[in-house]
């Protein structure tokens, strides 16, 4: 029952993450294209462009990482898991996902502390707290935790045996 629910959640999250990545990339390309055009035509872009671009780029990375993790496209799969034979490959997959869950939980806590620390600094171009730059990291860390838990709750996908 849990594995079926987790598999359904994975099937829902992967397309959502792909759409989110596409929209974020489109926004980043649009903003940077506008910045280049404005600098070329008027010798100056919008003041807030760099800060927003940074947020978009951070968001791309922190939405992309859970997508890769849910898809089992992370580096642990390619480097080590393919060299192991069953049941060692499945045990290794479980270990890596458990470690990621712990690391993501720790990262969530550390990011909350960073948000508290940076909340007193203002980004003048946006008129908001500098803590806003940590929000994509916080959301992404929570999504990484979710991805690791979903991977732990579902059967490990079969991989090609070593040649």
Q: Is 35 among the domain residues?
A: yes
Residue 72 lies in a domain: yes
Is residue 159 included in any domain, yes or no? no
What domain count does the chain have? 1
Across residues 25-36, what is the average pLDDT? 97
| pLDDT over 70 (residue 143) | yes
Domain assignment present for residue 60? The answer is yes
Geometric angle at alpha carbon 149, from 82 and 147, rounded to 5°: 75
The answer to whether residue 150 scores a pLDDT higher than 50 is yes
How many CA atoms are closer than 13 Å to the CA of 33, on its beta-carbon side?
A: 6
Model pTM score? 0.87
| Model confidence at 163: pLDDT above 80 | no
pLDDT single digits (tens) 45-83: 899 999 999 999 999 999 999 999 998 887 666 566 667
Q: Domain span at residue 143?
A: 2-153
């Amino acid at each position: 029952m849990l594995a079926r629910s987790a598999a359904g959640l994975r099937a829902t999250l992967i397309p959502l993450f792909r759409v989110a990545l596409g929209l974020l990339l489109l926004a980043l390309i649009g903003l940077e294209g506008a910045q280049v055009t404005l600098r070329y035509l008027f010798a100056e872009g919008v003041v807030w462009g760099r800060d927003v671009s940074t947020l978009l780029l951070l968001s791309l990375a922190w939405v992309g990482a859970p997508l890769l993790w849910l898809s089992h496209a992370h580096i642990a799969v390619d480097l080590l898991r393919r060299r192991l034979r069953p049941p060692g490959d499945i045990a290794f997959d479980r270990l890596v996902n458990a470690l990621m869950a712990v690391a993501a939980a720790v990262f969530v806590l550390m990011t909350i502390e960073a948000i508290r620390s940076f909340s007193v600094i203002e980004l003048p171009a946006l008129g908001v707290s500098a803590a806003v730059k940590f929000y994509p990291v916080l959301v992404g860390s929570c999504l990484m935790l979710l991805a690791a838990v979903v991977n732990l709750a579902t059967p490990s996908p079969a991989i090609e045996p070593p040649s």
